[in-house]
């Protein structure tokens, strides 16, 4: 359920990245030739896992990256286990099956890709190592009187505390995933209506929200080695409803190579607004072509050690009324139901700590 976009997503102790096999973008180029971009990972948490494939578009047209469809994507380990991922209906995103290949600490993983036109790519092999446990997750209410509306004025800052191991050279990344139950699996617009018409789900379903821009949250232990990491900010919860807010926190332990990758990517996001915009900067990665050394490739595939926790945020005692940013939806309960597809945005799989 995570890219981890994930991109957007989604995270890791790795072997050193094979950066020498990747040609970085020249920021002075006006036009960039098409190149494959890979985003994905396998973790020691339950899957499914996703790999997203896109192609860089010609920067001179300022267009979005193009989805790379029809590829064969395989995740394998050093013991001979492997799985061919299934492409989702949205295209360009490939996913393992529920109960499929599982990341295990101590094993070595890589991804192999064969595109529709026969190009072949492979990631550097990555060792999956366990991440330290999260100490505690907590929230603090904070009211911002300078905010533009009541929905953003009220907010809950989520923090974690964790203990850094005594070993030197530890690098961290944190991600969050918000799950919200929904009984609407498709919306349609109709003339004369001020609201969208919602079609019901055929089963239980949860919408998934992740932070997709300006959200690369990383840290090195160079200044705190062996000590407690306190009040590490993870997310600010908005006041778009008065219901409880369910969020899962992923703590990842990175190698120095992948830490530097995300550090460069963070700078790219701050400059352009997306990890891989139409003209990404010198992000590099650990992907290379095995069929043609002249082919460019960008991005990463990693084996990720994660520790995961959750928090329920009580939003019932905020000031004033919540402000929703979503369009109103009228559920047509008599319409034919729509399947809740398991994707990076929605899932029929109940979140592991969901109990309300």
What is the full per-residue pLDDT of the chain (356 aa) written as tens digits?
443 433 333 333 223 233 323 333 343 444 556 799 999 999 999 889 999 999 986 544 444 568 999 999 999 999 999 999 999 988 999 999 989 999 999 999 999 999 999 999 999 998 898 899 999 999 999 999 999 899 999 999 999 999 998 888 888 999 999 999 999 999 998 877 778 999 999 999 999 999 866 789 999 999 889 899 999 999 999 999 999 999 999 999 887 778 888 888 888 777 655 555 544 445 778 999 999 999 989 888 988 889 999 999 999 999 999 999 888 899 999 999 999 988 888 999 999 999 87
Residues 6+ apart with CB under 8 A from 44: 102, 103, 104, 105, 128, 130, 304, 305, 306
How far is CA 168 from each of CA 187, 226, 267, rounded to the nearest angstrom?
Answer: 51, 8, 25
| Domain definitions of the chain by residue range | 19-347
At 230, is the secondary structure helix, strand, or coil? strand
pLDDT at 18: 30
For residues 179 and 351, the answer to whether their CB atoms sit within 8 Å is yes
Say what the pTM is.
0.77
How far is CA 169 from each of CA 41, 131, 286, rounded to the nearest angstrom?
Answer: 21, 13, 20
Q: How far apart are CA 168 and CA 107, in angstroms?
A: 22
For 130, what's the count of Cα atoms within 13 Å in the CB-facing half-sphere? 7
What's phi and psi for 350, nearest 5 deg? -65, 130
pLDDT at 275: 53
pLDDT at 58: 55
According to DSSP, the β-strands at 196-200 and 329-331 are parallel
Q: How far apart are CA 237 and CA 314, in angstroms?
A: 10
For residues 24 and 284, the answer to whether their CB atoms sit within 8 Å is yes
According to DSSP, the β-strands at 66-67 and 50-55 are antiparallel
pLDDT at 28: 41
């Amino acid at each position: 359920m995570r890219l981890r976009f994930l991109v957007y997503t989604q995270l890791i102790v790795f072997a050193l990245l094979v950066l020498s096999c990747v040609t970085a973008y020249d920021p002075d180029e006006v036009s960039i030739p098409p190149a494959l971009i890979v985003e994905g990972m396998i973790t020691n948490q339950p899957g499914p896992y996703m790999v997203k494939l896109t192609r860089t578009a010609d920067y001179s047209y300022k267009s979005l990256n193009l989805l790379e469809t029809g590829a064969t994507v395989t995740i394998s380990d050093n013991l001979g286990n492997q799985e061919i991922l299934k492409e989702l209906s949205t295209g360009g995103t490939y996913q393992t099956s529920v109960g499929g290949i599982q990341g295990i600490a101590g094993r070595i993983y890589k991804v192999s890709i064969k595109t529709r036109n026969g190009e072949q790519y492979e990631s550097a092999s990555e060792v999956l190592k366990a991440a330290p446990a999260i100490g505690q997750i907590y929230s603090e209410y904070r009211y911002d009187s300078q905010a533009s509306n009541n929905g953003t004025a009220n907010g809950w800052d989520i923090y974690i505390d964790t203990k850094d191991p005594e070993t030197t050279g530890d690098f961290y990344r944190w991600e969050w995933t918000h799950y919200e139950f929904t009984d609407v699996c498709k919306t349609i617009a109709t003339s004369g209506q001020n609201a969208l018409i919602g079609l019901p789900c055929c089963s239980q379903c949860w919408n998934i929200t992740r932070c997709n821009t300006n959200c690369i949250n990383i840290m090195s232990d160079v200044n705190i080695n062996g000590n407690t990491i306190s009040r590490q900010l993870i997310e600010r919860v908005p006041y778009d409803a008065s219901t409880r807010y369910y969020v899962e926190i992923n703590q990842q332990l990175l190698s120095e190579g992948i830490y530097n990758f995300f550090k460069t990517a963070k700078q790219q996001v701050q400059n352009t607004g997306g990890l891989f915009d139409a003209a990404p900067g010198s992000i590099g990665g650990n992907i290379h072509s095995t069929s043609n050394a002249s082919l460019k490739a960008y991005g990463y595939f990693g084996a990720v050690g994660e520790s995961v926790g959750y928090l329920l945020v009580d939003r019932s005692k905020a000031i004033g009324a919540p402000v929703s940013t979503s369009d109103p939806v009228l559920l047509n309960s008599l319409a034919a139901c729509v399947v809740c597809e398991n994707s990076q945005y929605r899932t029929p799989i109940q979140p592991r700590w969901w109990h309300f």
